[in-house]
Structure 1
């Protein structure tokens, strides 16, 4: 008589619902409502439930309901906002799913590594967003600047066009495997659960840009390149709220001195 199978370590452990609940899927500027419904179905099959829609062109819509095919609860609970910054304001890890781009230099992750990083961050209590762009044009440069890293699906280079819902399914599957403990690729970063929420970081970047203008840092050159490099530098550090308050205090003093210098020169 054959011995019963022993449940070994090869059997994935159940995913922690609390960890999964900290991971959201964000769709930006979706043009076809059917893709919203298909994306809702894709994430529900993988144990995720949070869907955020940034300025969808048509929602609510019958086609979204039809393509959800049983994921009506995900659609009903979907949050709709006007801008990506609003969708990720409380997040400590934001991953933008995009084709490779030379215009915006972000650290690139494959889906499995991205999912492992998302799991590590969510397990540590941080909010995580996986962001997907428009069907035809993807994420704009300004939207990619809000992301900590880019996720690139290594599709067939001769035919690399992925439907939006298919891309969501790929990432949701990798997240599922990571949450089940079956992923073997380690996260590339330590958890950033102590890092400041995204909204605080963006407030710092806005003040930094104003300060650089006030002290004439750019000397007539376009500020875009310098700000992109500075954003990457500070994003990598995982600043916490106290550190941001300290830096903003330094910037405030620099702005005050610039105003005094301007008055003295006048």
Structure 2
């Protein structure tokens, strides 16, 4: 899933920000970087230094002239915007974007592009209108300007969280069946019979014992196997109770 998420930088003016973006991507397992009309030389000593070992992403990043070229094969394009726009556009949060990604990338042909604008002016209205949706990072309104690489890091982190959640869900074993109502009632009858046999429960003076045990057990929502274990313990307990002529002691 992460391999099919592309980070697109438009009009970047400082090579260090390209390197910092590459580092943020590599931290989170993203590998696809594209540069649109950068206003600097992408591969420099500064960008390599800021990449801190992720300079292979900088070196492999294609440089194109337009946003359309960078996202031509993408099925979802999301523009990062810190400014309110005169024409409302579908807006999502970083967390909402992450939650949407597994569905968007359910097929191998799907591609998602996350588009970031210039350090000084962001994305133009025309560029934002070429996006399916806008994502806004809810920063401190008194100091909302984020460094480009930091903004990429926030969204890349949400992408990774979504990927980890998807991988965990795929690796989970099937949920064992819960005990049915009938099985629980058989268990409660067995439990009460055993407690009477060992002298722990006196039906003549119940003191809400069975009601409390019922509440405890029902709150736990036991699985069928767990209930079978408990009934096995009760059966073995009953075998240890001395038998009298008139019934259990």
SS in 2 for 1:181: helix
Do the aligned partners of 2:13 and 2:39 also contact (CA within 8 Å) in 1?
A: yes
Do the aligned partners of 2:90 and 2:134 also contact (CA within 8 Å) in 1?
A: yes
> How big is the shift at 1:41?
0.2
In the alignment, which residue of structure 2 is the partner of 1:170?
154
Q: TM-score under structure 2 normalisation?
A: 0.64
Q: Among 25, 32, 36, which residue is 2:7 paired with?
A: 25
Deviations 1:108-140 (A, max 9, x none): 100011122233212323110000000010000
Do the aligned partners of 2:20 and 2:50 also contact (CA within 8 Å) in 1?
A: yes
Gap runs ≥5 in structure 2:
168-249
Q: How many residues align?
A: 165
Please give the alpha-carbon distance, in whole angstroms, between the structure 1 residues aligned to 2:55 and 2:138: 31
Q: TM-score under structure 1 normalisation?
A: 0.60
In the alignment, which residue of structure 1 is the partner of 2:53?
70
Do the aligned partners of 2:8 and 2:33 also contact (CA within 8 Å) in 1?
A: yes
> After the TM superposition, which segments of 4 or more aligned residues of structure 1 sit over 2 Å from their partners?
none
Please give the alpha-carbon distance, in whole angstroms, between the structure 1 residues aligned to 2:45 and 2:103: 37
* 1:48 and 2:39 matched: no
- Which structure's CA Rg is the greater one? 2
* 1:138 and 2:122 matched: yes
Gap runs ≥5 in structure 1:
1-18, 184-266
Please give the alpha-carbon distance, in whole angstroms, between the structure 1 residues aligned to 2:23 and 2:119: 17
Please give the alpha-carbon distance, in whole angstroms, between the structure 2 residues aligned to 1:94 and 1:176: 18
Alignment RMSD: 1.4
| Equivalent runs, 1:253-264 vs 2, <5 Å | none
Do the aligned partners of 2:102 and 2:166 also contact (CA within 8 Å) in 1?
A: no
